[in-house]
């Protein structure tokens, strides 16, 4: 990988085993005029190699109409199978996200870079900048494409090495963990992960991005973010990380693929670009709810302990300032009631079971069976329902209702 931020005339990456990389990825060698598919599941190995054709002009694409094929890390966006000239495209094309944010950062122009077929057998170096393959190869290629998630590395050539390639990856993974935490907690430090030369579509540069995020920080009572394990791919002078991301705030949920483009600035990796693609994924939503359910169960255990121990300060930390407990409104009134009650009667044993967690526009609805006994000999059994909201790394109770059973 070349020194980040430098211009380059041709890219020859070193490919090796990488636990942080994708399971499958494509590589185009312009020099060999070959399209490769690699499997990266424990050990890096080629799955197939197919003849391909790239731009008539040599070198990396710099501007529109130069007939060069771009070099870098790209992703398949969509399939086009209607309205294409068969002689030129073979009736099928897969679009790529050229120019990506780093391309835009370096003022590269042009568009419409695809991987497509040809009506006749392909010839080497015979496109206007796209990657062309024989039509018969397209079904095999499509079998391994997951749109927005499968990368294709377009290179001058590549070298395969035996040692693992994740030395830069762990630092970026740590950055992503902290980036997510600071975003979720609406911290000013969130913006320190971004470079001042930021590219996000056609809409945002760094300053407009910061202004918009701060506006949303003020607007949203809370932010909850759940991401899949990030995948990393090294490009010519940059690294792309991508993952599934579920974003929740009061009354709003979005789910999609987030891609972050990293450049090294003064020994620090900075985000220079973002890409976002919405998708539907019920399984990922289910994983999110399962993860939060486990966290809520741990949180409930601590809430119960604070109640049993009559620890007023600890108990107060589980409630929002405007929470409601039955007919009692506001945290101050709840604490005053508990302090007066606990001065005379203390809980002896509280058990909860049959815990169920549901998504709610304001956060989560939690229900469970609760059995209560205090030191006066009184006991009861009922169903308790909590409405809770995410709060940084924990939760806060908005309302608490109990019904006798």
Same domain, 315 and 359: yes
Same domain, 295 and 390: yes
Range of the structural domain that residue 333 is part of? 290-404
- Using the 3D structure, point to which of 116, 135, 160 is the last residue of a domain: 160
Q: Is 2 exposed, middle or buried (0-12, 13-18, 19+ CB in 10 A)?
A: middle
Same domain, 266 and 175: yes
Within-domain flag for 243? yes
The angle formed by the CA atoms of residues 297, 298 and 301, to the nearest 5 degrees, is 90
Any idea what the CATH number is for the domain that residue 145 is in? 2.40.440.10
Q: What is the pLDDT of residues 216-228, one digit of tens each?
A: 999 999 999 999 9
Same domain, 231 and 264: yes
β-bridge pairing 268-278 and 252-265: antiparallel
Same domain, 29 and 156: yes
Within-domain flag for 215? yes
> H-helix or E-strand containing 391?
strand 379-391
Within-domain flag for 344? yes
- Give the span between the Cα atoms of 200 and 180, in whole angstroms: 18
Within-domain flag for 298? yes
Same domain, 297 and 383: yes
pLDDT at 8 over 70: no
Indicate the pLDDT class of residue 396, thresholds 50, 70 and 90.
very high
Concatenating the DSSP letter of every residue in 79-125 gives EE-SS--HHHHTT-EEEE--S-HHHHHTT------EEE--SS---SS
- The dihedral region occupied by 221, where left means phi > 0, alpha psi between -120 and 50, and beta the remainder, is alpha
Within-domain flag for 185? yes
Asked if residue 365 lies in contact with residue 386, where contact means CB atoms within 8 angstroms, the answer is yes
Domain count, the chain: 3
| Residue 7: per-residue pLDDT | 40
Q: What is the pLDDT of residues 43-65, one digit of tens each?
A: 999 999 999 999 999 999 999 99
Within-domain flag for 7? no
Q: What is the pLDDT of residues 352-387, one digit of tens each?
A: 999 999 999 999 999 999 999 999 999 999 999 999
**CA terminus-to-terminus distance, the chain:** 66
Same domain, 207 and 102: no
- Using the 3D structure, point to which of 283, 301, 335 is the last residue of a domain: 283
Q: Which residue has the higher pLDDT, 5 or 379?
A: 379
Same domain, 142 and 189: no
Same domain, 96 and 192: no
Same domain, 25 and 147: yes
Same domain, 267 and 339: no
Asked if residue 371 lies in contact with residue 275, where contact means CB atoms within 8 angstroms, the answer is no
199-208, 281-290, 367-376 — which is least confidently predicted?
199-208
- Using the 3D structure, point to which of 160, 189, 210 is the last residue of a domain: 160
Within-domain flag for 3? no
Same domain, 43 and 122: yes
The angle formed by the CA atoms of residues 283, 286 and 292, to the nearest 5 degrees, is 145
Closest CA to 117 of 88, 82, 97: 88
Any idea what the CATH number is for the domain that residue 255 is in? 3.10.450.50
């Amino acid at each position: 990988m070349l020194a980040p931020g430098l211009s380059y005339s041709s890219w020859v990456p070193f490919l090796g085993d990488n636990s942080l990389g994708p399971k499958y990825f494509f590589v185009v060698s312009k020099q060999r005029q070959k399209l490769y598919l690699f499997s990266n599941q424990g050990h890096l190995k080629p799955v197939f190699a197919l003849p391909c054709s790239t731009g008539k002009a040599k070198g990396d694409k710099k501007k529109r109409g130069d007939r060069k094929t771009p070099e870098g890390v790209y992703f398949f966006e969509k399939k086009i199978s209607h309205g294409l000239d068969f002689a030129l495209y073979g009736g099928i094309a897969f679009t790529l996200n050229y120019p990506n944010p780093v391309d835009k950062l370096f003022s590269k122009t042009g568009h419409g870079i695809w991987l497509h077929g040809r009506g006749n057998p392909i010839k080497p170096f015979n496109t206007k900048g796209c990657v062309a393959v024989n039509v018969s190869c397209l079904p095999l290629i499509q079998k391994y494409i997951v749109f927005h998630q499968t990368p294709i590395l377009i290179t001058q050539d590549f070298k395969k090495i035996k040692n693992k390639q994740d030395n830069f990856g762990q630092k970026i993974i740590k950055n992503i963990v902290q980036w997510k935490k600071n975003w979720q907690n609406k911290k000013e430090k969130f913006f320190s992960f971004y470079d001042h030369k930021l590219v996000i579509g056609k809409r945002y540069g760094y300053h407009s991005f910061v202004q918009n995020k701060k506006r949303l920080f003020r607007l949203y009572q809370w932010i909850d973010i759940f991401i899949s394990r990030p995948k990393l791919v090294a490009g010519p002078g940059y690294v792309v990380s991508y993952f599934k991301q579920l974003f929740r705030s009061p009354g709003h949920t979005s789910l999609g693929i987030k891609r972050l483009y990293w450049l090294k600035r003064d020994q620090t990796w900075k985000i220079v670009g973002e890409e976002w693609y919405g998708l539907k994924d019920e399984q990922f939503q289910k994983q999110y709810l399962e993860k939060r359910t486990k966290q809520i169960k741990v949180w409930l255990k601590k809430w119960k302990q604070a109640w049993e121990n009559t620890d007023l300060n600890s108990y107060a930390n589980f409630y929002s300032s405007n929470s409601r407990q039955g007919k009692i409104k506001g945290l101050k009134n709840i604490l005053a009631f508990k302090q007066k009650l606990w001065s005379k009667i203390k809980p002896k044993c509280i058990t909860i079971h049959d815990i169920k967690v549901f998504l709610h526009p304001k956060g989560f609805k939690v229900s469970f069976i609760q059995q209560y006994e205090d030191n006066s000999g009184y006991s009861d059994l009922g169903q308790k329902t909590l409405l809770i909201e995410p709060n940084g790394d924990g939760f806060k109770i908005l309302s608490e209702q109990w019904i006798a059973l």
